Chain A
Amino acid sequence: MRPNNFWKTSSLISLILAGVLVVMALLVNMTPLGNSMWLRVFFGISALNFTLRASIPLILGALSGILCERSGIINIGIEGMMLAGAFGGFVAKVATNGWPLTASLIFSVLIALAIGGLMGLLHATLSIRFRMDQIISGTVIIILATGFTAYLFDRNAVAEGKFNALPIPGLAQIPVIGPVFFDNPPITYLTLLLVVIIHVALFHTRWGLRTRAVGEHPRAADTVGINVNRYRYVNTTMGGMLAGLAGAFLVLEAVGQFQEGMTAGRGFISLAAMIFGNWNPFGALGASLLFGYTQALQNELLLAGFTDIPRQFVSMLPYVVTIIAVSGFVGRVRPPAAEGKVYETEGSSE
């Protein structure tokens, strides 16, 4: 069996896991099973809600990584792009506190997208034009974002208001499913939609075919007249925008304020989700949900007053699961063949 096929089925496994969670939640909430405290901790509606909320930035980060890496540019700077996007969104929100809430929020999201996009463009320029090692360039992006946001952050600034949940009429009333999936703020809906859109775009459109070719075998793409580096610039910039959107989610939808280093490693966990999902949008969705679930569990266990194990160990859960997942599977996934390599037409006679 080729690793390819294995991974198509295994990203299915992640999704099936998510399905099992929903079914269990239905049972727990609608049958006497719900009397067990443990089942409520593991499968309560609040655990599911938290899972989705924790997953959104991971999904966006992983999608960002997919866009870049499918075109052959390694992006370990997602963490930095997210943080920069979050900060940009926050500054824009503070500056437009006087505007009507919706207008101000939308404007702030656009700014976050633009800042993320600029960071992506910077990464692309460093790695393509200046042929910098892409790991180093990504690290530079992270250091840059951490430093600048900490330096420029005004602790007295307050953003007023954040995105509220928009229940979808009808669907939001379905028990369990309704409150979990159909009673969310806009970036959450948008993210789930983006998974589908990017999947279709990547595997069924001209842009996607060319992107994959450029990331797998740039020379072959070049010989049929595709401008390899242009695809890499465009994709890395769009990837940056998605990371910026993840930042916007944190500030404008989840927390409502900016905090120093508020991305707290989510950019790195999204990289793990991207790898675990074998560079496929649905795989990344499944992996992000898995990682999000461990964060929810950590939260629920602490809330339920579970103290048999020191809470530091419970807090480690998401990171430990990430390490196990990625180390156990990493040999079997298959990254785009040309990622991380500079491409020049006359560089080699092959």
Chain B
Amino acid sequence: MSTENIPVLETRGITKRFPGVVANEDVNLTLHKGEILALLGENGAGKSTLMNIIYGLYQPTEGEILVNGTPVQMNNPSDAIALGIGMVHQHFQLVPVMTVAENIMLGSESVKNGLLDTRAVAARISELSQRYNLDIDPYAIIEDLPVGARQRVEIVKTLYRNADILILDEPTAVLTPQEIEGLFEVMTLLKNQGKSIIFITHKLKEVLQVADRITVLRQGKTVGEADPETATQNSLAALMVGREVILTVEKKPANPQGVVLAVEDLAARNDLGDPALRGVSFDVRAGEIVGVAGVQGNGQTELVEVVTGLRHADAGEVHINGQRMTNATPRAITQAAASCHVPEDRHAYGMVSPYPVAENLVLNTYNLVPYSHGINVDTRAIRSHATELVKQYDVRTPSIDTPGGSLSGGNQQKMVVAREFSRDLNLLIAAQPTRGIDVGSIEFIHNQIVAKRDNGVAVLLISSELDEIMALSDRIAVMYKGEIIGIVPRAEATREGLGLLMAGVKDERVPV
């Protein structure tokens, strides 16, 4: 066998057990030099766990890992880094208060006369960012950067350590379509330079677009391989979930009733104090879904925050069910108006990681009957509610007492969605509701949203996935630079027309 055929990375019989769960069971995976291997699998299938094992962060219960044909023992990530393995984690691992340069050099600092040589690091970062077309400013503070830029920082972080094997765990979940194109260009460039990439995603279209080979995990086991040349989205979905998945949403025409959410001339500023909303007006009627499309960072996040009471409005009005709710508290808004909110950042606003799943599932209702009577909390009611929801929404968790933070990323999201959808509502605000969720569960959540609509709920949907917006919305509002640049009925909307609006071009032929 020539060296050409020896895989750069191979796992043999990897098994990983956590208390109550087998996350990986006898997983065999090979990665060859200069290829992009896509790893597919449902939420909780064990993809991140496997990657964390390859990166030396977790120790396998059984099995071995071979790098370039030799078995290796990795006790911590420094061993993996030394072997040329780099990983971009599903939840970014960056220190928010530090600069880009500090984050990149952390653990591999360059030191001159005992002091950090930040200038040398910055020069190296500029060089890497030029070579790979990854635009970043070494002196920016992480918490000021949008997610797309944070991800570029993570990639440069692995390149800075001369990684030859790159693990990208759901890198596209938080990116805009434009950023995803950019990422794919970078991945192709890296591949052509002889680097090998493991790429995890739930978006089947992307897999078919960039992968050279596809491996599928289900419930911790490898269930098969697929060739991107011959596979289709439907065949991949079936392989992942183990049943046919309907990838398109079936829905009847909308039957809009009275206005539930009315927003008038809303203005607000972002965290840096710059104007983020400049006079936004629209309304959402009972029984319709209004989708908000737009390149991320054009005020969608701030819009949701103002409407849900998380951000202060400088001017304008928010009315819900005819009641004035401008700058009301989040609780007043969720309860008086029976509205709910699936937040964009699940860790910051959607859940309390150390709390058990059962308690996470009543964060919005714990103070109401039947979960509380006076100052008493009814644990029995909370537990039976949780058991019910976990089943209904297929949240994969060992038990309802497991801390929310130890679920897989997609299952955390499903937990948040389950909580928010399970109340009697008349307004549903969902920001990126299917971020990081597998195709099978997306199907379920989309059907839930449509069912809510058919029951007369007003739905405001914010998503950076144009496909999701197009599939669900009855009307589509496009945001650009803090304004709604156009509102288009779904029947008249085309991808091209929306694309132009998202770029700020107001075409006369597109009805507004």
Contacts and interface: CB of A to CB of B under 8 A. Distances in A.
Interface of A: 1-2, 4, 200, 204-206, 209-210, 212-213, 216-217, 219-227, 334, 337, 345-350
A346 B23 CA distance: 12
A225 B107 contact: yes
Residue from B57, B95, B403 having most chain A Cβ neighbours under 10 A:
B95
A350 B94 CA distance: 12
Given A205-B115, A212-B98, A349-B409, A222 B347 contact: no
B116 A350 contact: no
A204 B115 contact: yes
Contact of A346 (B18, B77, B116, B403): B18
Given A221-B106, A226-B106, A345-B58, 18 more contacts: A206-B116, A209-B102, A210-B106, A216-B97, A217-B95, A222-B57, A223-B57, A223-B87, A223-B89, A224-B77, A224-B106, A224-B107, A225-B76, A225-B79, A226-B107, A227-B76, A345-B57, A349-B48
Nearest to B271: A2
B20 interface: no
Given A206-B111, A349-B405, A212 B95 contact: yes
B57 A349 contact: no
Interface of B: 18, 48-49, 55, 57-58, 76-79, 81, 87, 89, 91, 93-98, 102-103, 105-109, 111, 114-116, 143, 157, 273, 347, 353, 403, 405-409
Contacts, number: 92
A347 B116 CA distance: 32
B76 A349 contact: no
- If over half of A's interface residues share one DSSP class (helix, strand or loop), that class is named, otherwise mixed; here it is helix
Contact of A222 (B77, B79, B94): B77
B106 A350 contact: no
Contacts of A209: 98, 102, 105-106, 109, 116
A349 B406 contact: yes
A317 to B, nearest CB: 35
Contacts of A1: 273
A213 B403 CA distance: 24
B58 A346 contact: yes
Contact of A217 (B48, B96, B157, B408): B96
A348 B406 contact: yes
16 contacts: A205-B116, A209-B102, A209-B109, A210-B106, A213-B98, A216-B96, A216-B97, A216-B98, A221-B106, A221-B107, A224-B77, A224-B107, A225-B76, A226-B106, A227-B76, A350-B91
A206 B111 CA distance: 7
A217 B89 CA distance: 14
Contacts of B407: 349
B273 A223 contact: no
A100 to B, nearest CB: 35
B81 A225 contact: yes
Contacts of A205: 111, 114-116
Contacts of A216: 95-98
Contacts of A348: 353, 403, 405-406
Contacts of B18: 346
A345 B55 CA distance: 12
Contact of B109 (A206, A222, A350): A206
A218 to B, nearest CB: 10
B107 A347 contact: no
Contacts of B406: 347-349
A278 to B, nearest CB: 12
Nearest to B49: A349
Nearest to A338: B95
Contacts of A346: 18, 58
Contact of B97 (A4, A345, A347): A4
Nearest to A349: B406
Contacts of A2: 143
Contacts of A213: 95, 98, 106
B299 to A, nearest CB: 20
A302 to B, nearest CB: 44
A331 B404 CA distance: 28
A220 B77 CA distance: 11
B102 A223 contact: no
Residue from B102, B108, B116 having most chain A Cβ neighbours under 10 A:
B116
Contact of B78 (A200, A210, A225): A225
In the A-B complex, the 10 residue pairs with the closest CB atoms? A225-B78, A224-B107, A220-B93, A348-B405, A225-B77, A206-B109, A217-B95, A223-B93, A216-B95, A204-B115
Contacts of B97: 4, 216, 334, 337
Nearest to A203: B116
Nearest to B111: A206
Given A223-B57, A345-B57, A217 B93 contact: yes
A56 B76 CA distance: 42
A219 B116 CA distance: 22
Contact of A219 (B49, B78, B93, B108): B93
Nearest to B82: A225
Contacts of B106: 209-210, 213, 220-221, 224, 226
Contacts of B116: 204-206, 209
Residue from B107, B108, B111, B347 having most chain A Cβ neighbours under 10 A:
B107
Contacts of A227: 76
Nearest to A206: B109
Contacts of B77: 222-225
Nearest to B87: A223
Contacts of B95: 212-213, 216-217, 220-221
A220 B94 contact: yes
A346 B16 CA distance: 11
A210 B108 CA distance: 10
A226 B143 CA distance: 22
A227 B107 CA distance: 10
Contacts of B87: 223
A200 B157 CA distance: 25
Given A346-B18, A349-B405, A349-B409, A217 B94 contact: yes
A343 to B, nearest CB: 13
Nearest to A204: B115
A350 B57 contact: no
Contacts of B405: 348-350
